[in-house]
């Protein structure tokens, strides 16, 4: 797989979003199955793996990092690992859909990084994200803490997930960021106002949710049912299936012409938007690993992109 640059950090042009292995996509994978999947991904050319300390479930809140640690430790020199701090889940309040607890204090980030290093079985984290903005902590304090961790060699690069322009500018001024991790796909483009600053400062964009929680795969139909703790239900529902029926129909038609799956076209759209955007779709099978990797070989014409834009704009007036 070809590489892209997140700032000065080289990663595979498509990364692996690992959350769904443990959280928010139905029952967590069994650890041996997840380890095999991750090692297969490395063999196929994926070098960028995105996780977080809170990707887990009530009985194993840090399941995801532990799985990645077991799977990737033998190939640590071949991979780039991104993980996150700043939030945890309050399973005491709700075991299935727990609310978030925020802690981006200096002490909180330092506790988090030590736990992640231990679970990931590594001596450094390649890219460390503040997972969500903590309303009680100023961006300058967060950035200063990250600068300390970089000096100590515990993290190599840092960024913020779900960040807006003002916070990004203030934090970056204290400790330059390598990347932001914001949702991005052909439907949800709410963070495009960051692009001028990202380009001016050489900051990369890790795009989570590149398939709009699976809706853009065109694999779901009205009446789809999900478990209460499956986050796909937030976007894959009858209302959105009706609302976005025209662009989905166009993706299916275009896919027949290009012999490509709609999900591949969704990834191709993101990849074609900017050369420093790296999508991180979730994958739980070898078939999805192969399908998504092949999306990098698909190019959309200007006319095809214009038609997608027209149909999406009509659905989002």
| Whole-number Å distance between alpha carbons of 283 and 75 | 20
* Alpha-helical regions (H) of the chain: 19-22, 31-43, 63-72, 106-120, 139-151, 165-174, 195-201, 238-243, 245-258, 262-273, 286-294, 302-315
Residue with structure tokens 């192969």? 290
Judge residue 153's burial from the number of C-beta atoms within 10 Å of its C-beta, 0-12 exposed, 13-18 middle, 19 or more buried: exposed
The upper half-sphere exposure of residue 23, i.e. CA atoms within 13 Å in the direction of its Cβ, equals: 25
Q: Please state, in angstroms and rounded to a whole number, the distance separating the CA atoms of residues 85 and 104.
A: 7
- Nearest in space to 31 (alpha carbons), one of 4, 89, 70: 70
Among candidates 16, 22, 4, which has minimal Cα distance to 40? 16
* Residue numbers annotated as active site: 55
For residue 266 the two structure tokens come to 């969704």
Q: Kindly give the residue spans of alpha helices, DSSP state H, lying in 44-105.
A: 63-72
Neighbours of 185 (CB within 10 A): 23
């Amino acid at each position: 797989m070809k590489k892209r640059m997140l700032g000065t950090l080289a990663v595979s042009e498509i990364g692996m979003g690992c959350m769904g292995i443990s959280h928010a996509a139905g029952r967590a994978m069994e650890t041996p199955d997840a380890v095999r999947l991750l090692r297969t991904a490395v063999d196929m050319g994926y070098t960028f793996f995105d996780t977080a300390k809170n990707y887990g479930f009530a009985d194993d809140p840090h399941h995801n990092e532990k799985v990645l640690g077991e799977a990737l430790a033998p190939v640590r020199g071949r991979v780039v690992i991104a993980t996150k701090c700043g939030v945890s889940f309050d399973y005491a309040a709700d075991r299935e859909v727990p609310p978030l607890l925020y802690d981006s204090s200096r002490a909180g980030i330092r506790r988090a990084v030590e736990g992640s290093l231990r679970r990931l079985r590594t001596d450094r984290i390649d890219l460390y994200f503040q997972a969500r903005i903590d309303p009680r902590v100023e961006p300058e304090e967060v950035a200063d803490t990250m600068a300390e961790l970089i000096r100590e060699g515990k993290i190599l690069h840092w960024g913020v997930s779900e960040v807006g322009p003002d916070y990004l500018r203030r934090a970056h001024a204290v400790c330059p960021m390598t990347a932001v991790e914001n949702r991005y796909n052909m439907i949800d483009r709410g963070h495009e106002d960051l692009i001028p600053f990202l380009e001016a400062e050489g900051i990369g964009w890790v795009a989570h949710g590149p398939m709009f929680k699976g809706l853009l795969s065109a694999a779901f139909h009205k009446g789809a049912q999900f478990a209460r703790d499956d986050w796909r239900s937030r976007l894959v529902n009858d209302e959105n299936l009706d609302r976005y029926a025209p662009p989905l129909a166009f993706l299916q038609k275009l896919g027949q012409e290009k012999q490509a799956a709609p999900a591949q076209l969704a990834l191709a759209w993101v990849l074609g938007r900017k050369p420093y955007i790296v999508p991180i779709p979730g994958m739980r099978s070898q078939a999805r690993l192969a399908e998504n990797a092949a999306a990098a070989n698909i190019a959309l014409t200007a006319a095809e992109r214009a038609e997608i834009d027209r149909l999406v704009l009509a659905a989002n007036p």
